[in-house]
């Protein structure tokens, strides 16, 4: 590999177009092969992005891995095949950027991490918040100790997910492996754990499916290793998109409302608002490429996928018992 990272794209529907757009802004990266069992989707993405016109197309990712000379793959396929495709790519000697969730079981997370170490390659996850200015700033304040010890976290995520995804694979358990908690909720769980550095130790959860195969609304009460408490709600039948995150520390407090961060410094009682662009920011794709080239630290490592599924799986188990606490 010289100064250009050759990428194969596995899955060309939905969010794959976002990855193509992001990589088009990274001159050190080039998508050279596409995989999708639906040839119409491949034709569609080539039409939307003329720079992909010369990409070789495959119906099966295994054929691409055998044929192409690649440095990395980006996985945008349904949840139930993320682990299988990630492991196959690692065994082919490639770096991997997979859409969330990284995997759907704790056992699969450990398998991916073991294969990653064996291959001496990187597995990144499409958690874009790790590269956004407001979350980088928040994490730095907590890690540096300026904010004091995290003592309480409250988070709410609302989306019209039940209606918007009706009839799609995301609400088919065999394919999605879970509902809103494992889908958009994955972002919320991940960013709380990553930004605060907290480790969940026990969770009690109640879930409402609204007669669907998968979870729609979830309410979690969480205990963390440092003694902090947390309350997390993922609502999949909310009429509008809305997200609130509050992090109360011993010295400072942080309030994220619809992507806008306000924080209060306890020593002065001062409230300051931040424009997120002032604190840098990138994208998981750019960070992934730069990490492969040795220019940056990988901001979305595989351990984040493990921590997220640990809490998610424990919440599902708790809900099955009527909300009985489950230790992680």
Quick check: is 77 in a domain?
A: yes
Residue 271 is predicted with a pLDDT of: 63
d(CA 83, CA 203): 25
Last residue of a domain, one of 81, 99, 128: 128
Residues 89 and 171 grouped into a single domain: no
Residues 61 and 169 grouped into a single domain: no
Residues 134 and 122 grouped into a single domain: no
Containing structural domain, residue 174: 129-280+301-327
d(CA 180, CA 243): 14
Q: Per the structure block, which two tokens stand in for 65?
A: 């891995």
The 10s digit of each residue's pLDDT in 157-203 is 999 999 999 999 999 999 999 999 999 999 999 999 999 999 999 99
Query: With left for phi above 0 and alpha for psi between -120 and 50, is residue 51 left, alpha or beta?
Result: alpha
Q: Per the structure block, which two tokens stand in for 249?
A: 């520390």
Reported as a pLDDT band with limits 50, 70 and 90, residue 267 is low
Quick check: is 76 in a domain?
A: yes
Last residue of a domain, one of 112, 128, 144: 128
State the total domains in the chain: 2
User: What mean pLDDT is reported for the chain?
Assistant: 94
Has residue 276 got a pLDDT over 60?
no
The 10s digit of each residue's pLDDT in 198-250 is 999 999 999 999 999 999 999 999 999 999 999 999 999 999 999 999 999 99
d(CA 97, CA 192): 21
Is residue 183 within 8 Å of residue 176, measured between CB atoms? yes
* Cα separations in angstroms, 247 against 36, 134, 194, 224, 266: 41, 13, 13, 13, 13
CATH number assigned to the domain comprising residue 37 = 3.40.50.720
Residues 44 and 160 grouped into a single domain: no
Has residue 125 got a pLDDT over 80?
yes
The 10s digit of each residue's pLDDT in 88-122 is 999 999 999 999 999 999 999 999 999 999 999 99
Residues 133 and 180 grouped into a single domain: yes
């Amino acid at each position: 590999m010289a100064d250009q990272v050759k990428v194969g794209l596995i899955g060309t529907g939905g969010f794959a177009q976002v990855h193509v757009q992001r990589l088009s802004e990274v001159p050190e990266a080039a998508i050279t092969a596409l995989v999708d069992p639906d040839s119409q989707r491949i034709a569609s993405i080539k039409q939307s992005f003329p720079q992909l016109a010369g990409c070789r197309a495959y119906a099966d990712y295994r054929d691409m891995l055998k044929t192409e000379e690649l440095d990395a793959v980006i996985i945008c396929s349904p949840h139930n095949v993320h682990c299988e495709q990630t492991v196959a790519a690692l065994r082919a000697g490639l770096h991997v950027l997979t859409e969330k969730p990284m995997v759907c079981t704790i056992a699969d997370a450990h398998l991916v991490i073991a294969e990653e170490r064996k291959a001496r390659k990187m597995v990144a996850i499409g958690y874009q918040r790790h590269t956004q200015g407001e979350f980088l700033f928040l994490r730095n304040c907590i890690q540096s100790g300026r904010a004091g010890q995290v003592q309480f976290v409250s988070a709410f995520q609302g989306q019209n997910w039940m209606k918007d995804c009706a009839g799609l694979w995301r609400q088919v358990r065999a394919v999605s492996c879970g509902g809103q908690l494992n889908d958009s909720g994955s972002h919320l769980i991940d960013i709380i754990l990553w930004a605060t550095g907290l480790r969940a130790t026990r969770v009690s959860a109640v879930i409402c499916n609204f007669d669907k195969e998968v979870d729609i609304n979830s309410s979690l009460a969480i205990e963390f290793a440092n003694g902090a408490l947390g309350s997390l709600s993922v609502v999949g039948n909310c009429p509008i998109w809305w997200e609130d995150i509050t992090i109360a520390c011993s010295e400072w407090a942080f309030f994220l409302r619809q992507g806008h961060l306000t924080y209060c410094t306890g020593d002065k009682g001062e409230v300051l608002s931040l424009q997120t662009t002032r604190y840098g920011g990138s994208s998981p794709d750019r960070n992934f490429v730069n990490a492969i080239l040795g220019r940056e630290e990988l901001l979305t490592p595989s351990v984040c996928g493990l921590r997220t599924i640990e809490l998610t799986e424990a919440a599902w188990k708790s809900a099955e018992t009527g909300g009985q606490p489950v230790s992680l």
